[in-house]
Amino acid sequence: MRKRWMLAMVAAVGLACGTVGCSQADAVKAASTIHAYLPVVMGLANDAAAIAAGIDATDGAKIQAVGAKVQSELQELESVSGAYAAGPSSDGWAKLQAVVDQLVSDADAGLMAALEIKNPRSQAEAKIALSALDAAIHVVDGYLTAARTPAEAQAAAAQRTVKLQSVVRYWSPADWQRVDAAFAGRGGEITGAEMALGF
């Protein structure tokens, strides 16, 4: 079902923003939506950090390091999304995209690290927390992608080392639905590019 959704999105992309790209109004709306959604993501990041702190140091060190980086990036995203919504500029848009792309990369890496934990109980706890956080960050990614030009979305996909297929299987159905809704008809630009790159 997920794969069919992704293929359908690829076909829908040409009808969405097509060759003209999206407007600055779309970008401001994306930044405002991201800014308003961040308290939810920050809450999930705090939950993940609390769980990581309780995991054996050998298993939890990488999770804690990634978690600290994600929390720092979320604070930066709060600043840049608010600034762009208040006063859009090309530099602000570039910075917003860069922060979101790094955040997605680090969240995906955190979830992959959780799967490497040897202790079954610790792995289960970390996987639940980090999969919810990862999905929430992909919701942010969806809001941003809805305002990106096709070229921007494809460039973002090309830089990602963890592909969607590697992480979506660990999200809950409700998490997947939130991500699906956030991409709002333009998810194919990033998933299509990922498929072209070996997704």
pLDDT tens readout for residues 121-180: 889 989 999 999 999 999 999 999 889 888 888 888 888 888 888 898 899 999 988 888
13 domain residue, yes or no: no
Q: How far apart are CA 142 and CA 176, in angstroms?
A: 12
User: For residue 96, which of 55, 38, 51, 42 has the smallest C-alpha distance?
Assistant: 38
43 domain residue, yes or no: yes
95 domain residue, yes or no: yes
109 domain residue, yes or no: yes
105 domain residue, yes or no: yes
Q: Identify the domain containing residue 55 by its residue range.
A: 22-196
Task: Give this prediction's pTM.
Answer: 0.84
- Which of these ranges, 10-24, 52-66, 105-119, has the smallest mean pLDDT? 10-24
Please state, as a whole number, how many other Cβ atoms lie within 10 Å of the Cβ of residue 159.
Answer: 11
Number of structural domains, the chain? Answer: 1
104 domain residue, yes or no: yes
139 domain residue, yes or no: yes
5 domain residue, yes or no: no
User: For residue 159, which of 93, 75, 72, 101 has the smallest C-alpha distance?
Assistant: 101
